[in-house]
Copies of this chain bind each other. A is one copy, B any other.
């Protein structure tokens, strides 16, 4: 008898904790989310109890008796993989927190599978989004950071330590700004939202405002034709296009799906990215690459987390 049970999917980030029930067609049939607890007093236990509350509500909404095919999780990195001890940069209360183990104890009859949230986003887009039916795809998330996931030959690439897909640390400006990773000139150091905001403010954009504006404000102003804001997004797009050229030279993918908050800027980001890509992508096999917007929006992470369980050996190497 075919297992028709859905997956309990979890997406833990620095801003929100989301959980949902995702069916085999990749539809989110139940969903709940809360802001991630912030502040110095938030410890590992507070965070865990917050997650449990969300899980309880989703399970209650969906119906306790029906059961799950498994639990799929995306969580901000870094983490040890596949063991799933998480130390998210943007969730200081968890350092080496054994999230996968805790969830296995909480759901003892379920397999629990976990990956970096940029990877689950890419997996979601491959399974049911912009990369559906494509054997070789790179997914990129441009947001507070820049991350990604790589699918080659219809298999998720994990790499030697589960860290493959860190597209945000491809070098795009060898003498460029220092990166939080300790490196220099990484895509993330140039093109992540906060980097673009900083760059624009240094050039006079909203510099007199007391409250720090966001990358969303930057996109809005760029869309209105503000010169510095437009230049900032162009700068981000060029960096993105360069990184995509390097990645596709090495990995020969057909599709690059770009999501995350900053991708909402649309052509303001995609057009300079495409131009920069064409400047560097001379090889014939690179000219077929399609750079496309991700299609699942905020649900990509939950859908991808579910795919870790439902995608058979496409997205998980076997326990």
Contact = CB atoms under 8 A, between A and B. Distances in A.
A183 B276 CA distance: 10
Contacts of A185: 280
Interface of A: 78, 135-136, 148, 150, 152-153, 155, 157-174, 179-186, 242-243, 245-247, 249-254, 279-286, 288, 317
Contact of A245 (B168, B183, B282): B183
Nearest to A169: B249
Contact of A254 (B150, B160, B179): B160
Contacts of A247: 250
A157 B164 contact: no
Contacts of A284: 78
A158 B252 CA distance: 8
B246 A171 contact: yes
The complex is assembled from copies of this chain, and their number is: 2
A280 B247 CA distance: 16
Nearest to A244: B171
Given A152-B159, A242-B174, A245-B183, A282 B251 contact: no
Given A170-B246, A250-B150, A161 B282 contact: no
Given A158-B153, A160-B252, A166 B135 contact: no
**Chain A, interface SS category:** loop
Given A153-B317, A174-B242, A251-B159, A169 B136 contact: no
5 contacts: A163-B285, A169-B246, A169-B280, A171-B242, A246-B250
A242 to B, nearest CB: 5
Given A78-B285, A166-B252, A170-B250, 12 more contacts: A136-B159, A152-B164, A160-B254, A160-B288, A169-B280, A169-B281, A169-B286, A171-B172, A181-B282, A181-B283, A183-B283, A184-B279
B279 A170 contact: no
Among A148, A159, A163, A249: residue with most chain B CB under 10 A = A249
Q: Which of A150, A242, A246 has the most B CB atoms < 10 Å from its CB? A: A246
A250 B253 contact: no
Nearest to A287: B182
Contacts of A251: 150, 157, 159, 164, 250-251
Contacts of A155: 153
A286 B161 CA distance: 10
A169 B246 CA distance: 7
Contact of A184 (B161, B280, B285): B280
Contacts of A279: 183-184
A182 B284 CA distance: 9
